[in-house]
Amino acid sequence: MAALGLAGALGVAATAAVAQASNQPSKTLRYAFPIAETNFDPAQISDLYSRTVASAFFDAPLEFEFLASPARLRPNTAQAMPEVSEDFRVFTFRIKPGIYFADDPAFKGQKRELTAADYVYALKRHYDPRWKSANLYILENAKIVGLSELRKQLLAAKKPFDYDQEVEGLKTLDRYTFRIRLAEPNPRFLYNFSDGSFTGAMAREVVEFYGDKVGEHPVGTGPFVLAEWRRSARMVLARNPNYREVLYEESPPASDGRLQEVAARFKGKRLPLVDRVVISVIEEAQPRWLSYLNGEQDLLENVPAEFSNLAIPNNQLAPNLQKKGMGMLRYARADVAVSYFAMEHPLVGGYEPHKVALRRAISLAVDLDKEIRLARRNQAIPGQSPIGPQTFGYDPTFKSEMSEYNLARAKALLDLHGYVDKNGDGWRDQPDGKPLVLEYATQPDQQSRQLIELWKKNMNALGLRIEFKTAKWPENLKSSRAGKLMMWGVGWSAGQPDGDTFLALGYGPNKGQANHARFDLPEFNRLYEAQRALPDGPERLAAMTEAKKLMVAYMPYKVHAHRIFTDLTQPWVLGYHRNIFVREFFKYVDLDVEARARAGR
């Protein structure tokens, strides 16, 4: 399915105009996703790949500095950093005048300026049941005064969400100013306003014009517009002609000579540096790898594990790729790979000792060392808790049962709690004698096949039958949110440098959103709420540590690993860097189109 509206046509025209004016070929950055997108509506997005694309269209008030380390916020569409009350409950944003949305038929030929009301409207959309926002839990956890109450009131009355009803917690003060008031302190609330795919401004006219198809027609104030879309196959982003003047101004660490050189080289250049971005969806690793090697892609995001020995033997760029002038960037992700157990499922769920024992035994039977060596090709480190690296709350010295492989102990646990073979068929049964058959959801890609092969071997050794249900990732996501899967392996990435993102996986009120396992333990919920209200420091860290210990003990998630990414770039790609908290990295990347042309690519 293709979606090419007026904004897309204008973007294509602008790209051609830029190229003609400079007598240069259009700068088109090409790369590929391993997983298909779903849609581009911030109120409906729940996957990483759709978020990456949507961040190119929608502007949040703040952003993370691209080359800064540690992570540091700065104004984006905001005039300055927001005013924050001493108790971290009141946040006042002032938006720069003179910022305009991309042209679109919804605006009936008029230029449409960004105002504070657009941010207020965009936030309210997450509360509208019509859109089934997967990120509502973040805002509801923050307790914006009056909004959750309004939502519940309208749901009870079976009325549509009322966008015109003002609430105390979210007000437009004037054309360019809006204020958010929280019921409880939230010292890190501002982080949420650095992600355009979540809190980016939206024009009400656009949503009302496109209705249920608004996810196919993203219209924002960001650097790109959607020029072409073939669902699950190809996305073309073109430079937004209405994008304001934003210059490359970065302050990397003084100790990082490479980034200092990058910052100096591009200082003062107008963003985005490229005219177009073409993103293909290539789910299988081999064609994605070959497409890059053949020069059809300018960069390879995360070398597929099965080709890491060819591309980065001993985690160094292979000599043949060095000779071609390719670049390599290796970095730890703020993420975690987990398998979850549906805590409301009659077989693997529950809080009784024998149910906990089943999950712990399954975890102990997972040979994590073999998984990292074989399926992940050493491109990961063992996970000890859900909290990922590069976030507050991650402790590299923390050790737990999560990484332990102990088949004898696993068998003993099952024997002790009555999970034995009662009918003599060679497989363990439930304590009441009913059959015990695990069901694990998976995808049709090569690495998923390798991972479930290991699962099969591990469970066979434990005497547990396991079956696999294969579907495309978006289908599994939909089933998971509806609570229809028994077990599923997923990755969870942080969009901000804080471990709350990961603890949210276990918070009871987040069921069906971040909390795929539907874990709901009062003591964990209390600890989660306590750490959320505390400023960063020893007291908060202690609460986070106790919370993650509970997740280890009750095992709603089997934590596998934290991934390490290695990206490769062609010789003509300039200034490449990745800040894991900046999704739309491609606006900072440049291309030497003449060098690419000489290479015949």
> Residue 209 corresponds to which tokens in the numbers above?
């014009």
Q: What is the pLDDT of residues 339-375, one digit of tens each?
A: 999 999 999 999 999 999 999 999 999 999 999 999 9
One DSSP character per residue, 236-296 reads EEEE-TT----B------TT-HHHHHHHHHHTTPBSPSSSEEEEEE--SHHHHHHHHHTTS
> Residue 382 corresponds to which tokens in the numbers above?
């063992």
Spatial distance between the Cα atoms of 137 and 529, rounded to a whole number of angstroms: 13
Instruction: Report, as an integer, the average pLDDT of 280-284.
Output: 95
Spatial distance between the Cα atoms of 16 and 315, rounded to a whole number of angstroms: 40
The candidate with the shortest Cα–Cα distance to 147, out of 129, 131, 157, is 129
Instruction: Report, as an integer, the average pLDDT of 262-291.
Output: 97
> Residue 528 corresponds to which tokens in the numbers above?
């989660």
- Taken in order 188, 72, 42, 499, the sign of the CA dihedral is negative
Q: What are phi and psi of 470, to 5 degrees?
A: -100, 130
- Taken in order 287, 292, 294, 295, the sign of the CA dihedral is positive
Spatial distance between the Cα atoms of 428 and 464, rounded to a whole number of angstroms: 6
Instruction: Report, as an integer, the average pLDDT of 384-407.
Output: 96
Q: Find the helix or strand (DSSP H, E) in which 50 lies.
A: helix 48-54
State the pLDDT confidence band at 26, using cuts at 50, 70 and 90: confident
Spatial distance between the Cα atoms of 458 and 534, rounded to a whole number of angstroms: 41
Instruction: Report, as an integer, the average pLDDT of 132-139.
Output: 94
**46: helix, strand or coil:** coil
Is the model's pLDDT at 20 over the cut of 80?
Answer: no
Q: What is the pLDDT of residues 184-236, one digit of tens each?
A: 999 999 999 999 999 999 999 999 999 999 999 999 999 999 999 999 999 99
Spatial distance between the Cα atoms of 507 and 517, rounded to a whole number of angstroms: 10
State the pLDDT confidence band at 25, using cuts at 50, 70 and 90: low
Instruction: Report, as an integer, the average pLDDT of 8-21.
Output: 42
Contacts for 160 with CB less than 8 Å, ≥ 6 apart: 128, 130, 154
Instruction: Report, as an integer, the average pLDDT of 570-578.
Output: 97
- Report whether 389 contacts 331 (CB < 8 A): no
Instruction: Report, as an integer, the average pLDDT of 392-408.
Output: 97
Contacts for 259 with CB less than 8 Å, ≥ 6 apart: 67, 250, 252, 253, 577
pLDDT of residue 16: 44
Of 491 and 5, the structure prediction assigns the larger pLDDT to 491
Contacts for 47 with CB less than 8 Å, ≥ 6 apart: 35, 37, 38, 473, 474, 477
E strands in 112-223: 170-174, 177-181
Give the chain's domains with CATH numbers: 36-223 (3.90.76.10), 335-563 (3.10.105.10)
Is the model's pLDDT at 2 over the cut of 50?
Answer: no
Q: What is the pLDDT of residues 67-105, one digit of tens each?
A: 999 999 999 999 999 999 999 999 999 999 999 999 999
- Report whether 347 contacts 486 (CB < 8 A): yes
Q: How many CB atoms sit inside 10 A of residue 346's CB? A: 11
Q: What is the pLDDT of residues 409-452, one digit of tens each?
A: 999 999 999 999 999 999 999 999 999 999 999 999 888 999 99
- The vertex-101 CA angle with 96 and 102, nearest 5°, equals 145
Q: What are phi and psi of 137, to 5 degrees?
A: -60, -35
**Average pLDDT value for the chain:** 94
Is the model's pLDDT at 246 over the cut of 90?
Answer: yes
Is the model's pLDDT at 15 over the cut of 50?
Answer: no
Q: What is the pLDDT of residues 462-512, one digit of tens each?
A: 999 999 999 998 899 999 999 999 999 999 999 899 999 999 999 999 998
Contacts for 100 with CB less than 8 Å, ≥ 6 apart: 111, 112, 113, 114, 221, 242, 244
Contacts for 291 with CB less than 8 Å, ≥ 6 apart: 32, 280, 282, 297
Q: What is the pLDDT of residues 34-58, one digit of tens each?
A: 999 999 999 999 899 999 999 999 9
Contacts for 455 with CB less than 8 Å, ≥ 6 apart: 366, 440, 466, 468
Q: What is the pTM of this model?
A: 0.86
Q: Is 423 exposed, middle or buried (0-12, 13-18, 19+ CB in 10 A)?
A: exposed
Contacts for 471 with CB less than 8 Å, ≥ 6 apart: 441, 443, 479
> Residue 134 corresponds to which tokens in the numbers above?
């997967």
Share of the chain above pLDDT 70, in %: 96
Spatial distance between the Cα atoms of 137 and 512, rounded to a whole number of angstroms: 10
Spatial distance between the Cα atoms of 100 and 89, rounded to a whole number of angstroms: 30
Instruction: Report, as an integer, the average pLDDT of 246-270.
Output: 97
State the pLDDT confidence band at 266, using cuts at 50, 70 and 90: very high
State the pLDDT confidence band at 24, using cuts at 50, 70 and 90: low
